[in-house]
Structure 1
Amino acid sequence: MLLLRIAEGDEQAFASLFMTWATPLAAIAMRILKNEYARQEVVQEVFIKVWLNRDKLGKVEHLGAWLRKITINQSLLALQRHAASDKRLAELRLTQDELQEQANTLELKETRRLVHEAIESLPAQRRTIYRLNRVEGKTTKEIAQELQLSHGYVRNALSAALAAIRDRLAGSGLLVLLLLVHH
């Protein structure tokens, strides 16, 4: 058995374990960390841990589950290390799914807040045109008729509004596809 060979210090068996499990474990770490460098670091730490504790491998019954658990734990530790400046995150002991859900929610709230600020900073007429189009779903022709403006002007104003919002989001460091959420 592979684990017993590793427990005895067989480096070829360990290399075989690494070749089999490095990619799936890296995928788990990446889903949690969303950072290539941190992912590599975690996978390296997992295999170092396996090698250093190889004398205990004979007790492992479900290799895949055991490796996944180590990877998740190491990933959560990495998140805590990297989030030391944010004490709230450092104190959280969340499962992988809960942590991902929270991160998505925070990112969405921050994006919505930045979009809202960007919209509010638009000149009044552009803001109105943007809202009629993106919130109420009206076409540029319908907006032009409603506001008694030329269709070309409305198209240009909407384009300028979207560019201003994009620029504001890019300035904040967010890489957002302009699938602006309705408020």
Structure 2
Amino acid sequence: MSPESLHTDETALLQRIAEGDEQAFSALFVTWATPLAAIAMKILKNEYARQEVVQEVFIKVWLHRDKLDKVTHLGAWLRKITINQSLLALQRHAANDKRLEALQITLNPVDNTSTLELKEIHRLVHEAIESLPPQRKTIYHLNRVEGKTTREIAENLQLSHGYVRNALSAALALIRERLTSSGFLMLMLLLHR
């Protein structure tokens, strides 16, 4: 295939995508996903991050399809987007690593706590939870143990969202109060999240 006919085919494909043709977009994906994934993998060296980047590239193409008529060299353009998205992913991962490192430094005093102190903290938290009224205890359990959002809890228990938020706040306040009065201020900060 000559370079002129290849360019004509690419232009026609981009025009169809710009018009919202999902089959043309699918053809673009099938053609370019693997080469772009290889570029992202060379930069990121992480399978999950690579998948995210490739996905992000094609989302950008679809969302900005109205500007595809300005693209003159499709391959170079897609590679440039992939490289930029990969570099952004590296920056995000570096920022997350710094946050984790900062969190670990913050948690080190708790890590150095003796086993006896940890058992005491666990006992105090357990007692505080057990002393909660039944509905408040259920709300606390659904949120902190099962990981449900306050909206999901409100729907499940057929309560107002505001009531669930207030009940959860009151439960956490009681736990913090018990820990604070026992001298475990560091854990109070962790429970405040």
TM-score (normalised: structure 2):
0.44
Q: Which of the two has greater helix per residue?
A: 2
Rg larger in 1 or in 2?
2
